[in-house]
Every structure is written in structure tokens, then in C-alpha cells.
């Protein structure tokens, strides 16, 4: 990408040189000017092909436009098709209390495998993020509904610093690099929303020298 941008800047210099030669009547200088034009044109076509190739790599990625105010246009991965149990109304066709009353004692509870390890029970429960009125949507702390595709807005209510860094590019992962069209992973693409913190991990290679220095040996 650096080489391409350099070519674009240098092309202004070549354009000035070409205009000088174009004002002369010498045939060999006209031919030279023509060759320079061809080289610049080829470099420009290569740069366009490079950006198109990035778009080709992301063609299979389902994406939607990020709804972020005050920021340049970028995309986020579409979420609906990734969730196996979506839409939630396939099961939540009745009010939650009625569904619970119909459950037999021997039946396994719904979402039995999900445990919230995000905030204390006095701060957060399922209804903090999931709408009770429409299970296919999320809900802001104010009660305003939100599409699952834009759950990052929900995270930004509390994690304001991380959200600001994510919008600015200092937090998160880009798909296909920084060239347009920019596609950025959202919070839930890397973090489990029910247990967002990562488990402690050992490094891939043990640094014995560093351990000795820490011990003072």
C-alpha cells in the first residue's frame, strides 16, 4: 500500500515533466512523453486492481454499514445469520412466564448453558440487554430497541473508553486490512457478551531468561 501511495504522489512530478515535453516539436521527446504516460496509467490501473482485490476477498463476508455518528464510513459483520437460534421468536412465541409454566420439571431449562459472568446480579440480568417485548431485538438501558447487528452500541453504554478506541481504530480487528472497504469486527466477534473477559493464558514460549531476571537470580 505504501508503494501505491508513493506512485500517486510522484505522478504529479511526472505530469509536470510531461507537460514540458509536450510543448516541444521533437518527435523523440513526444515518444518519451507517451511512454511516461503509459507507465503512470499502468501504475494507476494496478492501484485500482489492488483495492478491488481487497473487496473480492471480503465478498463472502456478510456485512452491514456501521451506525456510528461522527466517523467515516465502515462496515461490521452481519450478526443475524451467525446466531444459530435466530430469530428468537421461533421459540419465544409466547410470553416468558407462560413458556416457563408449560415447562415440565424433568425438562432442561432453556439457555441452560449460559451463565452471566459480566457484572453482579444486582447490576445485570438477561433483560438488561435482551428485550422482553421483542426477543429478536436488544434493548438500551433507556428501553429503546436495538438490532442485534449493532450490538456494539449497547456495549458502548458502559464501556465508553473501549468503544471510543474501537471507533478510532485502536481497539478491535480489521478484516482485509485497512484498505477500503473497511470491515471491523464488533465487540461480540471477539468477546463472549455473557463472559467478556479472556481467560489467563501462558505464553506460547517460556522465557526462562525473563523469569530469572524477575527472581533476581
Q: Where are the domains of the chain?
A: 2-57, 63-190
Inter-residue contact 76 to 183 (CB < 8 Å): yes
What does the DSSP 8-state code read for residue 88?
G
**Average of per-residue pLDDT across 13-39:** 52
pTM metric for this prediction: 0.61
Residue 104 pLDDT: 84
Torsion sign (Cα): 87, 90, 91, 92: positive
Q: CA geometry: angle at 14 spanning 8 and 17, to 5°?
A: 160
What does the DSSP 8-state code read for residue 109?
P
Residue 108 Cα distances to 57, 103, 111, 112, 163, angstroms: 42, 8, 9, 7, 37
**Cα 207 to Cα 181: distance, rounded to the nearest angstrom:** 40
**Average of per-residue pLDDT across 112-126:** 85
Asked whether the predicted pLDDT for residue 133 surpasses 50, the reply is yes
Reported confidence tier of residue 34, pLDDT bands at 50, 70, 90: low
Torsion sign (Cα): 71, 73, 79, 80: positive
**Which residues, listed in sequence order, are joined to residue 122 by a DSSP beta bridge?**
none
Asked whether the predicted pLDDT for residue 197 surpasses 50, the reply is yes
Q: Is 76 helix (H, G, I), strand (E, B) or coil?
A: strand
Name the burial class of residue 102, with classes exposed (0-12), middle (13-18) and buried (19+) by CB atoms within 10 angstroms of its CB: exposed
The per-residue pLDDT for range 96-117, each reduced to its tens digit, is: 778 778 888 888 777 878 888 8
Asked whether the predicted pLDDT for residue 147 surpasses 70, the reply is yes
Reported confidence tier of residue 163, pLDDT bands at 50, 70, 90: very high
Residue 30: what are its φ and ψ, rounded to 5°?
-65, -40
Residue 37 Cα distances to 98, 134, 148, 178, 193, angstroms: 75, 61, 50, 29, 55
Amino acid at each position: 500500500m505504501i508503494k501505491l501511495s508513493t506512485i500517486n504522489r510522484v505522478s504529479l512530478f511526472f505530469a509536470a515533466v510531461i507537460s514540458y515535453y509536450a510543448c516541444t516539436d521533437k518527435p523523440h521527446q513526444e515518444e518519451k512523453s507517451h511512454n511516461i504516460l503509459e507507465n503512470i496509467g499502468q501504475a494507476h490501473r494496478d492501484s485500482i486492481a489492488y483495492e478491488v482485490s481487497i473487496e473480492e476477498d471480503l465478498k463472502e463476508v456478510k456485512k452491514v454499514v456501521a451506525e456510528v455518528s461522527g466517523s467515516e464510513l465502515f462496515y461490521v459483520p452481519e450478526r443475524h445469520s451467525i446466531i444459530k437460534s435466530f430469530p428468537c421468536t421461533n421459540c419465544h412465541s409466547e410470553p416468558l412466564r407462560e413458556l416457563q409454566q408449560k415447562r415440565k420439571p424433568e425438562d432442561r431449562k432453556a439457555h441452560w448453558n449460559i451463565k452471566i459472568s459480566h457484572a453482579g446480579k444486582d447490576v445485570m440480568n438477561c433483560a438488561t440487554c435482551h428485550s422482553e417485548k421483542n426477543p429478536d431485538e436488544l434493548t438500551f438501558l433507556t428501553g429503546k430497541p436495538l438490532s442485534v447487528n449493532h450490538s456494539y452500541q449497547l456495549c458502548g453504554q458502559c464501556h465508553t473508553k473501549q468503544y471510543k478506541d474501537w471507533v478510532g481504530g485502536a481497539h478491535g480487528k480489521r478484516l482485509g486490512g485497512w484498505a477500503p472497504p473497511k470491515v471491523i469486527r464488533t465487540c461480540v466477534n471477539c468477546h463472549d457478551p455473557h463472559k467478556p473477559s479472556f481467560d489467563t493464558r501462558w505464553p506460547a514460549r517460556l522465557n526462562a531468561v525473563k523469569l530469572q531476571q524477575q527472581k533476581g537470580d
